């Protein structure tokens, strides 16, 4: 006779009850597991964000290229504006005789250098990096002092129509990519817009294909930010060369100094006024160079290395500053009388070299 245990064998109803209990237990276990996983992932995300904030290396908006993030747009060291990263530097020598106006592409230049040349006339050197125009010109010849001026850009590309044969060896040794027509033939064309010799034009994008190693924009000493205190109210300023004249009129509506040349408004090919956010009137030593033009006139040499005085025009005011460029490889720092750096307005900068 079998021993009695006091237990009743489980019936079908009880078996179903146990199955439902086990199912609910498994469901609760999976729910708790998912909850723990979500919480763990959320905590990890918060930790990563905190670490990112602690290690953030995003630069001040006016920091130079070395402090910039590795991707995305940056602040141009030439204009203070947001531009694509790692754009090469292209300088273009432009004719500025009355027969060469209006210029093509000058409105797209980051920097415009106004230079004294033979006979008291002027030439322009436009520097492009942030954006390139489809055309630039008329293009004319380079000068010896251009080589010193361009050293601050590293190894930029230089588009020009030619140089005196005596200067060719010096130019070939200079740290730049020379791009006269023979070295970038597909980049140049003759335009019917002007009569010779004012009709040689450049396609900048094609020119840069012949200089794939041209330096990217880098710090050349400029700083951008709010206008400093002080300065004198200024609505117009005129700069005179022996045979050329430049005027700068402040336009509060446009936030620009509107440019005039030889008493006439300077315009783009489409008729818009040329303007600059900041105008620098930089006093430099002007001496005779070793070279002469085809007519025998001595070519002036502008010494842009050294120190001196400058007037900076921005926001309808004029600021007396000191400038200093220790060597040709350095940029130029502009300081106020109290020793603080002079901050420029964001936008195109025109630098006019004036004999002291």
Residue 225 has a pLDDT of: 98
pLDDT tens-place string over residues 163-182? 988 899 999 999 999 999 99
Q: Which residues of 124-151 are buried (b: 16+ CB within 10 A; e: fewer)?
A: bbbbbbbbbbebbbbbbbbbbbbbbbbb
**Whole-prediction pTM:** 0.81
Distances (CA, A) of 270 to 105, 264, 273: 10, 16, 9
Please state, rounded to an integer, the average pLDDT across all residues of the chain: 86
Read off the pLDDT of each residue in 124-150 and give the average, rounded to a whole number: 97
Higher pLDDT, 124 or 60: 124
Which of 24-28, 122-126, 162-166, 283-287 comes out lowest in average pLDDT?
24-28
Residue 294 has a pLDDT of: 72
Residue 164 has a pLDDT of: 85
pLDDT tens-place string over residues 273-290? 999 999 999 999 999 998
Residue 30 has a pLDDT of: 54
Higher pLDDT, 150 or 47: 150
Residue found by looking up tokens 């924009």 in the block: 217
For residue 100, pLDDT beyond 60: yes
Query: How would residue 36 be classed by pLDDT, with cut points 50, 70 and 90?
Result: low
Which of 11-20, 68-77, 223-232 comes out lowest in average pLDDT?
11-20
Higher pLDDT, 147 or 67: 147
Q: Which CATH superfamily is domain 74-355 in?
A: YerB-like (3.50.90.10)
Residue 20 has a pLDDT of: 53
Read off the pLDDT of each residue in 308-329 and give the average, rounded to a whole number: 98
Which of 29-43, 168-182, 225-239, 337-351 comes out lowest in average pLDDT?
29-43
Higher pLDDT, 7 or 53: 7
For residue 94, pLDDT beyond 80: yes
Residue 227 has a pLDDT of: 97
Of 336, 327, 335, 332, nearest in space to 349 by CA: 332
pLDDT tens-place string over residues 102-112? 999 999 999 99
């Amino acid at each position: 006779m079998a021993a009695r245990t006091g237990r009743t064998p489980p019936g079908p109803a009880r078996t179903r009850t146990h199955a439902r209990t086990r199912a609910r237990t498994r469901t609760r276990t999976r729910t708790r597991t998912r909850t723990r996983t979500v919480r763990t992932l959320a905590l990890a995300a918060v930790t990563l964000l905190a670490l990112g904030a602690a290690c953030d290396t995003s630069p001040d908006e006016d920091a130079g290229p070395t402090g910039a993030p590795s991707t995305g747009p940056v602040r141009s060291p030439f204009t203070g504006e947001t531009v694509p990263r790692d754009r090469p530097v292209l300088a273009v020598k432009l004719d500025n005789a009355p027969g060469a106006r209006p210029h093509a592409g000058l409105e797209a230049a980051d920097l415009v250098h106004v230079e004294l040349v033979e006979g008291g006339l002027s030439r322009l050197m436009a520097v492009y990096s942030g954006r390139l125009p489809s055309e630039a010109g008329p293009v004319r010849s380079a000068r010896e002092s251009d080589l010193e001026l361009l050293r601050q850009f590293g190894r930029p590309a230089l588009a020009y129509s030619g140089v005196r044969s005596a200067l060719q060896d010096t130019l070939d040794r200079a740290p730049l990519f020379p791009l006269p027509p023979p070295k970038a033939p597909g980049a140049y064309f003759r335009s019917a817009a002007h009569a010779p010799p004012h009709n040689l034009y450049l396609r900048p994008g094609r020119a840069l294909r012949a200089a794939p190693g041209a330096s990217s924009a880098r710090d050349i000493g400029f700083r951008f930010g709010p206008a400093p205190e002080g300065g004198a109210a200024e609505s117009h300023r005129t700069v005179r060369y022996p045979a050329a004249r430049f005027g700068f009129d402040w336009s509060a509506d446009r936030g620009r100094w509107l440019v005039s040349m030889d008493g006439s408004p300077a315009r783009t090919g489409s008729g818009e006024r040329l303007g600059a956010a900041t105008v620098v009137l930089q006093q430099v030593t002007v001496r005779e160079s070793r070279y002469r033009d085809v007519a025998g006139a001595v070519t002036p040499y502008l010494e842009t290395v050294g120190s001196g005085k400058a007037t900076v025009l921005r926001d309808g005011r004029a600021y007396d500053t000191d400038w200093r460029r220790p060597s040709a490889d350095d940029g130029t720092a502009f300081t106020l009388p109290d020793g603080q750096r002079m901050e420029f307005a964001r936008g195109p900068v025109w630098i006019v070299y004036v004999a002291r």
